[in-house]
């Protein structure tokens, strides 16, 4: 065996980062993949410290790339989090808030008539401008219909995606319990599957969903091997985990939630293996990110925030700090763990930067490119990150500090134990203890509640506001400057619009198809 | 460069497990090192999920070996935990309990006259029988004097250690605050440093302590390169972290606790580098283990239990589940994470097994060898682990279940925030909210409180005892059988013995030396 064949053999065995010892310069138009998980918690992966979740392809991706420990979502719920990913803008700038009702709706319902405004420039649109093919599969949650139950006005095909495979415009897995674990019948009004703009199943059957998404994504990759592509693989996992395929059932020590984690990992592995086997791994930048924190009120059916406080729908760290991995063998050094403070919102500018595109100039873009950070371990470009609930600024991250102006309450251990989830965490219903942005469950803080979340990531020990007056003054100046940029909102509040006639139905009045 | 020199180069770079691609059979008498940390939490290391603790040699050791996620200490406090490590027996069998006073003392005080009974067979004694040199540095906490203030009757030299370097028979770093962070003066009665059996400093100065321990340990290794050795490196870290050397101050995003973690990691790296540079790494099995959970009542001065409940002194998972790593390059496959349920008590039988020694036949040994698990990923030999507080059986681990018969209460978030640790977690005093084994703060559970800690490691969701009657019956049979083995205790309760005249003093009546 000569030297080069030995080296090849070591690369094949996977023990040397593909690409060899020295990293290469990135190619000019890398393929970009975003795996986006739903309600997966900061503490759900073995690599993020879960003791009994099995090792899988997502952990492998982390070992081969960068695992981020202070990566934030822009929002603690799905719709605005996804809007920020695809627009690179704070959701409050692009219409993802409500102003009506006592609670201010936070996500699109099936009867919602709002959606991602068509004049928002999405990441696939920005990449198409520089020659990319664009595709997506999986969860959308950025609008369905605008005027009729079947116009599909807001579906992804109208937002820059050339290829749209199997897609879930809306998800509520609990209500769609096809395994009859919690409910005897699925609610057809909440449960439908599309292929591009057509309903293919109503109600949805979860059994083969993941395999179908994988097949669609693979075919998109095979079809676009010769040109740069952007793939948005948006998982139905983990959100109320009720859809594990038979072969993953019982695969986890953690029970059903762990089974679903294993299925999701399998899917990520299938896609990355496709990238490897098509010879594209040297030229593909992939992210794995969760959209927001775990739904802790459903106990064993929801995920774990690890050592963080709170969960989905709250602006405590458990709601907004998410697991996130960047992977590009041979270009991004493997085995890194980064504690830089960054955000899902940065995927937009980073992808456009790598692709050689340009950011829209006619609007405020909150996204900042992480190119130098990913390639050269540069510092984060952010000094501050803002966290909204609808149009209310709840909290911000400022250097090592977390500053809360308003915070969500959460249930006592006793409440969870006796009312929500008896017998080991089996939930009796799906609910949020404090979901609203203006409800009675919100506590306002003046002076703000401050934690040093680098010393105290669990937000257990607030700092004395009297001993941090100067810092609070700096923060208030930052907030005032930020708020001045919001005065000219370009969009009406999309979450105000609700009408029963807009609920998708494949064959009125029955709404049953397969 | 030829093939073998390339391979060597790759090994040197550390990217191939030393020993090459295929694992070797273990040599017959490997060197054995036990790094034992004090009060370090399950969630304190980056590799165990801490977001802002810096990467260090301990994480590197985990990457090159096995990181255990369900490794238990035998006790939630220092003295009995260390007794179990060195005897392979439950502390209640070897006299590590008390029967007097309302609280039943749990650890040795400086006025304690008890200690590790001399007829207990220690791990260094078992290894000496098969030709090992034995040495220790650092924290002891298994007794000092028996009859006079200077007889050193219980010191490690009487328990099988040929070499005893710089040693702390007792630690209370808070009371020995040489940096004057919390206290103006150290309490001489609690603060002394020995070299073997001689007091070398009273009160102790922490500044160069770690470097001194490292030097002593290195000299032991250099002196014993030619014959098998056992080294017990028992850290003063992390227990009330007040002794970081100047060059580690400010090294961590986590503050002082993180600085100390970095110093401890440096020390581990120094020792492992010595093993590597002396060419012994192919023949050295090393463990890194924490003695018990973190002291959460001292907030930013204490560690993190991660996602686990409770902390030091409690039998919640946070008190007894500890970070633990096994390392043997080329023999134990690197990069493993094991969720097998094992215990610090197993180090004894494992080491004796590897060394070709024999376990004592005249007494009950609770330790089981992990040799097959370490080498061949075999299942844990344990179905059950017992957790005592003094002589009271608090809880046990049975398959995937944790069963509590009694549990410690813990302070509310508000209590900690307003009384114990204001302004970001700076503690005003050192205390335990519930330390006693029989005090009012203990809640007894009948039927027992049960968690599936593989699904619910945070012990949030108890199982319904009515739905697990059969399992409880099995557990009660296991407990009855276990209790029958305790009827003939071979030792008096060592923790009953307390006398003021036994407090060490280097030059009565002043007790000040350097």
- Name every chain A residue with its beta carbon within 8 A of the beta carbon of B52: 69-70, 339, 454-455, 457
Cβ pair A80, A345 in contact under 8 A: no
Closest approach of B451 to chain A, Cα-based (Å): 7
CATH class of B26-382+489-502: alpha beta
Strand partners of residue A451: A402
In 10 A of CB B419, how many CB atoms?
A: 13
The dihedral of CA B411, B413, B419, B425: what is its sign? Answer: positive
Q: Do B21 and A13 touch (CB under 8 A)?
A: yes
- Please check whether the domain covering A29-382+490-502 is classified as CATH 1.10.287.1260: no
Cβ pair A360, A490 in contact under 8 A: no
What's this model's pTM, rounded to 2 decimal places? 0.94
Residues A256-269 have pLDDT tens digits of 999 999 999 999 99
H-only helix segments in B328-421: 346-355, 371-376, 413-415
Rg (CA), chain A: 22
Residues A392-405 have pLDDT tens digits of 999 999 999 999 99
Sheet holding A392-398, edge to edge: A384-389, A392-398, A401-408, A442-452
pLDDT for position A46: 98
Do the bridges between strand A133-139 and strand A66-68 make them parallel or antiparallel, or are there none, so unpaired? Answer: unpaired
Residue of B43, B416, B422 lying closest to A464 (CB–CB): B422
Q: Is the ipTM of this complex over 0.95?
A: no
pLDDT for position A73: 98
Q: Do B425 and A3 touch (CB under 8 A)?
A: no
Q: Ramachandran region of residue B430, left (φ > 0), alpha (ψ -120 to 50) or beta?
A: beta
- Name every chain A residue with its beta carbon within 8 A of the beta carbon of B458: 304
Residues A282-313 have pLDDT tens digits of 999 999 999 999 999 999 999 999 999 999 99
Instruction: Please say if the pLDDT value at position A1 is more than 80.
Output: no
CA distances from A512 to A112, A204, A205, B117 (A): 20, 9, 12, 76
Residue B141 among the catalytic residues: yes
Cβ pair A314, A408 in contact under 8 A: yes
Instruction: Please say if the pLDDT value at position A334 is more than 60.
Output: yes
- Name every chain A residue with its beta carbon within 8 A of the beta carbon of B416: 460-461
Q: Do B253 and A339 touch (CB under 8 A)?
A: yes
State the pLDDT confidence band at A7, using cuts at 50, 70 and 90.
Answer: very low
Closest approach of A428 to chain B, Cα-based (Å): 13
Residues B133-185 have pLDDT tens digits of 999 999 999 999 999 999 999 999 999 999 999 999 998 888 888 778 888 88
Averaged pLDDT for residues A78-101: 94
Q: Do A300 and B16 touch (CB under 8 A)?
A: no
pLDDT for position B102: 67
Residue of A339, A454, A461 lying closest to B425 (CB–CB): A461
Q: Which residue of B has its CA nearest to A71?
A: B51
Residue of A69, A335, A425 lying closest to B460 (CB–CB): A425
Do the bridges between strand A284-290 and strand A324-327 make them parallel or antiparallel, or are there none, so unpaired? Answer: antiparallel
Q: Which residues does chain B have with pLDDT short of 70? A: 1-21, 102-103, 243, 488-489
Residue A158 among the catalytic residues: no
Q: Do B69 and A55 touch (CB under 8 A)?
A: no
pLDDT for position B342: 98
Cβ pair A371, A354 in contact under 8 A: yes
Give the pair of three-digit tokens for residue B239: 């227990």
Q: Do A454 and B52 touch (CB under 8 A)?
A: yes
Q: Do A307 and B49 touch (CB under 8 A)?
A: yes
H-only helix segments in B326-463: 346-355, 371-376, 413-415, 422-425
Residues B35-92 have pLDDT tens digits of 999 999 999 999 999 999 999 999 999 999 999 999 999 999 999 999 999 999 999 9
Which listed residue (A50, A104, A141, A468) is catalytic? A141
pLDDT for position B165: 98
CA dihedral A475, A477, A480, A485 (to 10 degrees): -100
- Name every chain B residue with its beta carbon within 8 A of the beta carbon of A7: 6
State the pLDDT confidence band at A185, using cuts at 50, 70 and 90.
Answer: confident
State the pLDDT confidence band at A100, using cuts at 50, 70 and 90.
Answer: confident
Cβ pair B242, B174 in contact under 8 A: yes
Interface test with B, best of A42, A253, A401, A461 (most B CBs within 10 A): A461
CA distance A380 to A368: 9
How much helix, strand and coil, in percent to the nearest 5, is found in chain B? Answer: 30, 20, 50
Q: Do B70 and A49 touch (CB under 8 A)?
A: no
State the pLDDT confidence band at A488, using cuts at 50, 70 and 90.
Answer: low
Closest approach of B371 to chain A, Cα-based (Å): 22
Q: Do B46 and A304 touch (CB under 8 A)?
A: no
Interface test with B, best of A15, A49, A323, A428 (most B CBs within 10 A): A49
């Amino acid at each position: 065996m000569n030297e080069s064949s030995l080296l090849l053999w070591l690369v094949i065995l996977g023990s040397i980062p593909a690409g060899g010892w020295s990293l290469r310069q990135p190619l000019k138009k890398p393929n970009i993949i975003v795996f986006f998980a739903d309600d997966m918690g900061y503490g759900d992966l073995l690599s993020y410290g879960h003791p009994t979740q099995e090792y899988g392809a997502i952990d492998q991706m982390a070992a081969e790339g960068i695992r981020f420990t202070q990566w934030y979502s822009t929002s603690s719920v799905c719709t605005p989090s996804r809007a920020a990913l695809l627009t690179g803008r704070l959701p409050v700038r692009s219409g993802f808030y409500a102003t009506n009702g006592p609670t201010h709706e936070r996500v699109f319902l099936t009867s919602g008539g709002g959606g991602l405004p068509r004049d928002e420039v999405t990441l696939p649109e920005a990449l198409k401008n520089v020659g990319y093919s664009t595709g997506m599969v999986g969860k959308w949650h950025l609008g369905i219909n605008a005027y009729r139950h079947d116009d599909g006005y807001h579906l992804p095909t109208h937002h820059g995606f050339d290829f749209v495979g199997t897609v879930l415009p809306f998800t509520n897995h609990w209500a769609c319990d096809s395994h009859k674990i919690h409910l005897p019948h699925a609610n057809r009004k909440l449960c439908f599957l599309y292929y591009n703009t057509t309903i293919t199943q109503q109600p949805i059957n979860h059994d083969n969903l993941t395999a179908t998404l994988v097949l669609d994504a693979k075919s998109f990759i095979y079809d676009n091997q010769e040109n740069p592509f952007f793939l948005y693989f948006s998982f139905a996992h983990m959100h109320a985990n009720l859809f594990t395929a038979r072969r993953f059932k019982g695969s986890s020590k953690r029970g059903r939630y762990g089974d679903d984690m294993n299925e999701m990992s399998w899917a990520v592995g299938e896609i990355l293996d496709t990238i490897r086997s098509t010879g594209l791994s040297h030229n593909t930048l992939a992210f794995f990110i969760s959209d927001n924190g775990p739904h802790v009120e459903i106990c064993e059916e929801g995920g774990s925030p690890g050592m963080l406080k709170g969960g989905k729908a709250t602006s405590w760290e458990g709601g907004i700090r998410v697991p996130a991995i960047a992977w590009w063998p041979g270009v991004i050094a493997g085995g890194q763990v980064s504690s830089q403070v960054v955000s899902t919102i940065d995927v937009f500018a980073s992808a456009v930067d790598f692709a050689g595109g340009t950011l829209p100039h006619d609007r405020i873009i909150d996204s900042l490119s992480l190119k130098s950070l990913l390639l050269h371990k540069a510092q984060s470009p952010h000094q501050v990150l803002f966290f909204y609930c609808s149009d209310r600024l709840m909290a911000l991250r400022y250097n090592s500090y977390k500053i809360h102006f308003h915070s969500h309450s959460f249930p006592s251990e006793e409440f969870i134990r006796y009312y929500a989830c008896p017998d080991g965490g089996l939930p009796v219903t799906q609910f949020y203890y404090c979901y609203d942005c203006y409800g009675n469950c919100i506590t306002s803080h003046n002076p703000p509640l401050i934690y040093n979340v680098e010393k105290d990531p669990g937000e257990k020990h607030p700092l004395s506001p009297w001993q941090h007056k100067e810092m609070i003054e700096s923060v208030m100046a930052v907030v005032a400057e930020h708020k001045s940029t919001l005065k000219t909102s370009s969009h009406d509040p999309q979450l105000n619009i609700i009408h029963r006639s807009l609920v998708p139905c494949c064959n009125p009045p029955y709404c049953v198809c397969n």
